[in-house]
Amino acid sequence: MRFKNSLTLKEVAAFLKASFVGDPNLTITGINEIHKIESGEIVFVDHPKYYKKALNSAADVILIDQEVDVPAGKGIIICTAPFDAFNKITRHYSPDKSWTHNTGDNFNIGENSQIYPNAIIGHNVSIGANCIIHAGAVIGDNTIIGDDVTVGPNSVIGHYAFYYKKKGERFDRMHTCGRTILEDRVEIGALSTVDRGVTGDTTIGAGTKIDNQVHVGHDTVIGKNCLFAANVGIAGCVIIKNNVTLWGQVGVVSDVTIEDNVTVLGQSGVGNDLQAGKTYFGSPCGEARTKFKELAAFKRLPSIIENL
């Protein structure tokens, strides 16, 4: 998330009522989580296991729960609860705004696009030309939709990210202030959901077609001309490149990359990166030919046991 006006390390620390180490005038242009962080931005870390990753990231400022050695040119803000401090900043500079009409503030729509009855549009939404938003669809805040896009009935584009921190017996949700981007010629089926980025973007590339009852998690980036069948579930922070096919009920865990021209057969579970141009099957999935050989061998197991 980019700030409308840049801030300084000193200003952010004062807002949080926290101490800091670094150049007081260090310029801060935005805030992001570690998966999307860029130079000039703030990131948070609240576990020693991830200190090094955060301190060596592109972030210029790190919200952290103890004083540590600070890399040259960076700054830290020392908070007892970095997660809460992160939320305090995002809620202040990108607060939720209630919906009171069928279309929110700062809504733009292109020529020949149609919004069917009972569709609801949030704030800061742009819809291109020749689009169809079917009945019952919900287009959340900060959504950008290109040209020739179809969103099916009762689908939700740009809902809150599924990102929580456990605190005692409850879970606290990270405030969602990112965007959702559907590029040109994307089609979304009925009853599908695409979560907004936490502070970055969830993106579906041009020409990608998504079936009914598919879920795409926060900050996932999907390439061009992909095809996803019904009941596919994709976790957050996944990278899926171009021309990927996921058949029915495929599940994909977070933080994996699926390279170009991959096909994953139905009911498979993707738990690791997948190499380009291959077909995969199984849970956990592997190359399809190998998995089919394993299944054939497993079928022979009872007769092998009987002959022992």
Residues designated as active site: 218
Whether residue 298 is contained in a domain is answered as: no
| Last-in-domain residue among 69, 93, 117 | 93
| Last-in-domain residue among 61, 93, 125 | 93
- Decide if pLDDT at 275 tops 80: yes
Give the confidence band of 35 by pLDDT, cuts at 50, 70, 90.
Answer: confident
Assign 3-class secondary structure to the chain: CEEEEEEEHHHHHHHHCCEEECCCCCEEEEECCCCCCCCCEEEECCCHHHHHHHHCCCCCEEEECCCCCCCCCCEEEECCCHHHHHHHHHHHHCCCCCCCCCECCCEEECCCCEECCCCEECCCEEECCCCEECCCCEECCCEEECCCCEECCCCEEEECCCCEEEECCEEEECCCCCEEEECCCCEECCCCEEECCCCCEEEECCCCEECCCCEECCCCEECCCCEECCCCEECCCCEECCCCEECCCCEECCCCEECCCCEECCCCEECCCECCCCEEEECCEEEHHHHHHHHHHHHCHHHHHHCC
Whether residue 304 is contained in a domain is answered as: no
Q: What is the CATH number of the domain that holds 75?
A: 3.40.1390.10
- Decide if pLDDT at 250 tops 80: yes
**pLDDT tens digits, residue range 108-144?**
999 999 999 999 999 999 999 999 999 999 999 999 9
For residues 229 and 285, membership in a common domain is answered with yes
For residues 89 and 164, membership in a common domain is answered with no
Whether residue 300 is contained in a domain is answered as: no
Token pair recorded at residue 156: 């939700």
| Last-in-domain residue among 93, 123, 158 | 93
For residues 246 and 275, membership in a common domain is answered with yes
Distance CA 42, CA 130 (A): 38
Distance CA 164, CA 302 (A): 46
- Number of structural domains the chain divides into: 2
**pLDDT tens digits, residue range 143-193?**
999 999 999 999 999 999 999 999 989 999 999 999 999 999 999 999 999
For residues 74 and 12, membership in a common domain is answered with yes
Give the confidence band of 297 by pLDDT, cuts at 50, 70, 90.
Answer: confident
Distance CA 18, CA 24 (A): 13
For residues 23 and 168, membership in a common domain is answered with no
pTM, two decimals, is: 0.93
Whether residue 75 is contained in a domain is answered as: yes
- Decide if pLDDT at 304 tops 80: no
Whether residue 153 is contained in a domain is answered as: yes
Whether residue 98 is contained in a domain is answered as: no
For residues 136 and 39, membership in a common domain is answered with no
Distance CA 28, CA 12 (A): 9
For residues 215 and 117, membership in a common domain is answered with yes
Whether residue 264 is contained in a domain is answered as: yes
Alpha-carbon torsion 63, 64, 65, 66, what sign? negative
For residues 192 and 252, membership in a common domain is answered with yes
Confidence (pLDDT) at 258 = 98
For residues 68 and 46, membership in a common domain is answered with yes
For residues 61 and 127, membership in a common domain is answered with no
Give the confidence band of 299 by pLDDT, cuts at 50, 70, 90.
Answer: confident
Confidence (pLDDT) at 96 = 94
For residues 119 and 15, membership in a common domain is answered with no
Domain carrying residue 121:
107-292
Q: What is the CATH number of the domain that holds 170?
A: 2.160.10.10
Whether residue 305 is contained in a domain is answered as: no
For residues 139 and 279, membership in a common domain is answered with yes
